[in-house]
Chain A
Amino acid sequence: MSNKGNGGWSPYLAGALTGGVIIVSAWIAGNYFGASTCFVRVSGFIERFFSPEKVAGMTYFNWFAPKVDWQVMMVVGILIGAFISSITDGSFKIKSVPDMWASRFGSSPVKRGAFAFIGGLIVMFGARLAGGCPSGYGLGAMVQLALSGLIVVVCFFAGGILFSNLIYRGGANR
């Protein structure tokens, strides 16, 4: 039940507590979880800096106006929360290449950084096309029994499992 020998908590406990946060958030604030919309807002915010007229004329940035809302605060909070949590229990570590990646693709931080960038680009394009990410569709839509939540979460994992096994095929760490 415990988190395999790394000092972490049981994922069931951490998950159930997060489920409690979802309930309290819906109750008190009327908000449901999500994370990817704020990437649109921040990206519009940055782009507006360089070409304000263009951003003002784009439908998507009119729907999701560049601004700092509660979701941006929450996502920034994940960064701060993880920092505090990892500093206080000693799991904070500056690391540019994850172990599993290194065992298959080598320890070059440049190569890892490049693939992380490309992966991030594809992830966000897919999330916005689908209408959200695992936070929005899993923790937001599935808890409300939305059909969309089930379809998208199944596709996230189906795609992720398929492509991960393809790219790791024949690797040393198999």
Chain B
Amino acid sequence: MAHIDENPLGAHLPLDPLPGHSSLGRLERVLRRGEFAVTTELNPPDSANPEDVYERAAIFDGWVDGINAVDASGANCHMSSVGICALLTRMGYAPIMQIACRDKNRIAIQGDVLGGAAMGVTNMMCLTGDGVQAGDQPGAKPVFDLDCMSLLETVRIMRDNGKFLSGRKLTTPPKVFLGAAINPFAPPYDFRPYRLGKKIEAGAQFVQSQYCFDVPMFREYMKKVRDLGLHEKCFILVGVGPMASAKTAKWIRSNVPGIHIPDSVITRLEGAQDQKKEGKQLCIDIINEVKEIEGVSGVHVMAYRQEEYVAEIVHDSGVLKGRKPWKREPNPVDQLVAERIERTREGVEQNQQQMAEKAAHHPH
């Protein structure tokens, strides 16, 4: 029997569109079927070597439904998210392209959305982005032309109305599943659920949360979210991740904006003999706790510089329930590329005169 997320005519063919789905991707299929989704984040390389990207992505093979291609996270320079997506889609991975408003204005962003979708990116995540002061180049000019909300709306307008923000028409709109970020752990706490509501109104279909270390606080947030009925309009993925040590946790708490780590977590890590192992166990414990909360549709595992543990964490927490996330996502242009390569290999000689003749008689 063909895999449920496979084209019945062959695994190498693109998926058929499903009614009510806005993308052709598998992440949307998994979420809409009500399965527990797992996404993760690729540590972007500081290199121009494509192998680096493929190596880092290969660790996740068969364990995740989507890989976030981060857009200069923490305002630090890395390979661009568009570049990573180009490499990943070529290999059949399912990237979630992050777009931050910090570095690009609305002209660049809309262009990237089209380019990304053309490469086969089916999931896009709209973020505001950290301030430039957080990164390695505080002297950069912060752009912030759009904010995450107007960015969501922009991409939604492009997809649903087939138009640029300016109203100019698109010949083929980008078919993407739209994501956003939430941080229930930063003030103003009582506004946060409404902000999620706003993001949904602007177009968010799934959200990934900031690192969740304070489960009671998250539970409180989810209660409000359920009261507002937002969990039915949007898939909520909880951000989790292992802490390498108590020292790292303390550093992150005081230096990375927006991450809330309660003292109890640090005490637990400090008390452990093998802090790295304890950090991993803590992550698994948190996953096991949050997966029971009503309205949670998945987890987003952020294991920065510990990517090799993602498989283990996902396995040990048992959230996939034996499901094997499909590895290769077919790209609509795969066939064209294959044909082209085949023709080159056959070595058909190009006769310039003939080609010119042909072009003269058949413009286009």
- Chain A bound to chain B: no
Residues of A within 8 A of B (CB): none
Residues of B within 8 A of A (CB): none
